[in-house]
Structure 1
Amino acid sequence: MTDSVTNKIILSADSTCDLDQELKERYHVHYFPLHIILDGKDYKDGIDITPEEIYQKYYDEKILPKTAAVNVAEYIEHFKPWVDEGYEVIHINLGSSLSSAHQNCCIAAEELGHVHAIDSCSLSTGTGLLVTDAGRMIEQGMKAEDIAEALRERTKHCHASFILDTLTFLHAGGRCSTVAALGANVLKLKPCIEVSTEDGSMNVGKKYRGTLDKVLVKYVKDKLAAYPDIDPSLIFITHSGIAPEYIELVKNTLEETMHFDEIHITKASCTISSHCGPNTLGILFETC
């Protein structure tokens, strides 16, 4: 993997940006994994634990992991070799309303200098959209300070939402009440979780009813119809582990509804998957 030598900028991101390998290599993205604490052991997200292992642990023992942010010392260790070599570093964090990673990254950046910490105000490939934006800006030869300013402005244009097939994992993690979980599961309600473009907080949007295949088609059409100025260059289909036929259904619905230059299918990191559970799927895109 080579880096941008002409203007000496390193592009880095929390592992929760959920890019696929092709985009990660295209834009020379350096990942930093968040921590997954499961049954007393500390794992690195996406390196030595998978979402499937997390789900199986819950099914077998009703144990869910805790997630932990990268601490200040870890960020300093991550950035310092590049700073010492004269690079500017752009690092894009999981939204600050969801994790203390950005706050820790800012402290490390202030101590080292030459590190530009960006609060994505999003999660998963909502963050990944900003990472690809940064990659293109680096290719265009923009200065790091200008890229950081542009990215902070672009957060309000990155739209992230997901359909949850079950509230079991949100409930088990303490993120929704027993009554809400029971009611949604019994009534076959599948809520749309929307990420605020203002601060990255998660809110419950429309509640869909019916089988997952019908809900996913309706959700995709609703989201595409909601914005008249969608950027057609890139859209993500991101999931936490779901049958291929559902992914293909969503992809076909996208293609029938609107043209996109690139449709990337990516799998959510352990941090994201452990909170939303299996069979979660979302489309994530930018507006102009």
Structure 2
Amino acid sequence: MRRIILSTESGADLPEELVEKHAVQVVPMHIIMDGKDYLDGSLPVEDIYAYHERTNQIPSTTATNVHEYIHFFNRIREDYPNCEIIHIGYTSKASSSFHNAMIAAEGFDNIILIDALNVTGGLAAIVMYAVQELEREPMIESEHLANKIKAIVPKSRLAFVPGSLAFLKAGGRVSNIAYLGGALLKIKPCIELIEGKLVSTKKYRGKMSVVTEKILQTYFNQYNLDKQQLYLLFSKGLDEKIMDRMTEIAKESGFINIKWIQAGAMITTHAGPGGFGVAGIEK
């Protein structure tokens, strides 16, 4: 039986220790800053903060292109001869990366593509579900595993709140009037993935310490989550006291395995510093 190799994009924000432990193959997306193209993962997030402070703008981001996917799939085949690849991709509703993967895969046999319809921790939750299923049943057929992954895609739930509206404003996602009003009233929008699209669903008022508790409790009340695994997300700059409190609330709510995931450069470009999110899979 052929070995199954799982792959995804850097926009999943999978921690390096999980990538290495489970041999998940990750293809980088791109950040364009000061006219230079950086691979996601090669650029410290602090450089993005410094760029925004200097220019009042945010870098642009681009998808993995077809040529890069062909090279990526070829490399996997060289490292794992005669393998089968299941690629779990960044939502096609917010990036052309998955479409590019589809074009690249036409030249290969035994590649299954799955649109996760999610990003960052929501995508990571799906990838880690696949990892756990593969480790639980090493001899599973690739089509069977792919069907199980596809079945939980609509059950992966992600919600996050940016730490600052400044990055949303710089990216053109809020008007200047909305930004000024939101900043004055300390209003923070909650962003969720709805059918693969990033949608602002609720607005919270108050300090980040208050908002994070509200969003976490709302999330727990809204979804009937599998309590075996929960992913808490942050962009660099989130207060450690808030992180400790979120872990405490998750434990009090009965979650067994709680993993913190730091947003990489790709996600941080849009979320800004001090953002918080939560991701899990419904039963």
TM-score (norm 2): 0.94
CA displacement, residues 181-237 of structure 1 (integer Å, 9 cap, x when unaligned): 1211111111111111x2x1011122111111111111111110112x210111111
Residues 1:163 and 1:82: Cα distance change in structure 2 (over 3 Å): closer
Match of 2:161 among 160, 163, 167: 163
Which among 220, 239, 247 is matched to residue 224 of structure 1? 220
The one of 259, 262, 270 aligned to 1:264: 259
Give 5+ residue unaligned stretches, structure 2: none
Q: Aligned pair 1:12/2:7, yes or no?
A: yes
Is the contact made by 2:2 and 2:82 (CA closer than 8 Å) also made in structure 1? no
CA distance in 2, matches of 1:99, 1:31: 16
Aligned to 1:3: none
Question: Alignment length, in residue pairs?
Answer: 278
Q: CA deviation at 1:165?
A: 2.8
The answer to whether the Cα contact below 8 Å between 2:48 and 2:269 also exists between their aligned partners in 1 is: yes
- SS state at 1:223 partner: helix
Asked if the contact 1:126–1:158 (Cα under 8 Å) also holds between the matched residues in 2, the reply is yes
Matched, 1:107 2:99: no
Find the aligned partners of 2:108 and 2:226 in 1 and give their Cα distance: 36
Q: 1:60 aligns with which of 44, 51, 54?
A: 54
Cα pair 2:87 2:113 within 8 Å, conserved:
yes
Residue of structure 1 in register with 2:23 after alignment? 28
The match for 1:282 is 277
Q: Deviations over 1:17-73 (max 9, x none)?
A: 1122332233221111101110101111112x1211101111022232111111111
Shift of 1:134: 1.2
- Counterpart in the other structure of 2:124: 128
SS at match of 2:228: strand
Moved over 4 A (4+): none
| Matching of residues 126-275 of structure 1 within 5 Å | 126-139=122-135, 140=137, 141-196=139-194, 198=195, 200-227=196-223, 229-241=224-236, 242-256=238-252, 258-275=253-270
Q: What is the rounded CA distance, in whole Å, between the counterparts of 1:147 and 1:126 in structure 2?
A: 19
Q: Distance in 1 between matches of 2:21 and 2:255?
A: 18
- What letter is aligned with 1:222? T
SS of match in other structure, 2:226: strand
- Aligned pair in 2 of structure 1 residues 272, 180: CA closer, same or farther (>3 Å)? same
Cα distance in 2 for partners of 1:188, 1:86 equals 55
> One-letter code of the match for 1:29?
V
Aligned CA distance change for structure 1 residues 74 and 188 (closer, same or farther; 3 Å): same
Aligned partners of 1:115, 1:191: CA distance in 2, in Å? 38
Q: Percent identity?
A: 34
Alignment of 1:51 with 2:49, yes or no, is: no
Q: Secondary structure at the match of 1:151?
A: helix
Question: The residue matched to 1:283 in structure 2 has which SS?
Answer: strand
What is the CA-CA distance between 1:7 and the residue it aligns to? 3.9
Q: 1:10 to 1:163 in 2, by over 3 A?
A: same
Separation in structure 2 between the aligned mates of residue 81 and residue 237 of structure 1, nearest angstrom: 32
Higher alpha-carbon deviation: 148-157 or 29-38: 148-157
Larger deviation: 97-106 or 216-225?
Answer: 216-225
1:163 offset after TM fit, Å? 1.5
Distance 2:210 2:74 in 1: 49
Please name the residue that 2:69 is paired with: 75
Query: How far did residue 123 of structure 1 move?
Result: 0.5
